[in-house]
């Protein structure tokens, strides 16, 4: 959506299509590169190196998140709130998480 709005703004500010596209490219490339970097950081934190959230409190969660996600706060604020909400849900079901991690709740071959 932001790219489309920026393209519309660029066409209004330019006298030719080539000029509009160049302005749009300059405007959006940096922003979109930051979004890719943000996605890579989240993937690293939430897929490849998942912490044991059941052992974290709000302070340690915030410290962990800030150490992993270094991109502009504009992107990370919504994610930080969602992670905090997930952390609360995990704490309320920490015994289920612990049993899953120990293998107790993993289905056997017969259950599949």
Tens digits of residue pLDDT in 12-68? 999 999 999 999 999 899 888 888 888 898 888 888 888 888 898 989 988 888 888
Per-residue pLDDT reduced to its tens digit, 80-98:
555 555 555 555 555 555 5
* Tokens representing residue 28 in the block: 């959006």
Give 26-32 contacts, CB < 8 A, sequence gap 24+.
28/2, 28/3, 31/2, 32/3
Structure confidence by residue, pLDDT tens digits, 27-36: 899 888 888 8
pLDDT at residue 22, rounded to an integer: 95
- Give the pLDDT band (50/70/90) at residue 69: confident
Cα–Cα separations (whole angstroms), residue 53 to 43, 46, 66, 101, 110: 16, 11, 15, 12, 31
Q: Which residues of 3-39 are buried (b: 16+ CB within 10 A; e: fewer)?
A: eeebbeebbeeeeeeeebeebbeebbeeeeeeeeebe
Query: What pLDDT shows up at residue 12?
Result: 95
Tokens of 17: 């299509």
Q: Report residue 102 as tokens.
A: 């120990």
> In which band, very low, low, confident or very high, does the pLDDT at 78 lie, cut at 50, 70 and 90?
low
């Amino acid at each position: 959506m932001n790219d489309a709005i920026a393209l519309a703004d660029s066409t209004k500010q330019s006298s030719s299509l080539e000029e509009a596209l160049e302005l749009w490219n300059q405007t959006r490339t940096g922003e979109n590169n930051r979004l890719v970097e943000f996605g890579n950081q989240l993937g690293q934190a939430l897929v490849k190196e998942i912490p044991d959230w059941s052992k974290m409190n709000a302070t340690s969660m915030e410290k962990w998140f800030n150490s992993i996600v270094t991109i502009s706060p504009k992107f990370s604020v919504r994610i930080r709130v969602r992670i905090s909400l997930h952390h609360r849900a995990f704490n309320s079901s920490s015994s289920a998480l612990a049993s899953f991690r120990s293998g107790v709740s993993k289905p056997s071959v017969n259950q599949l």
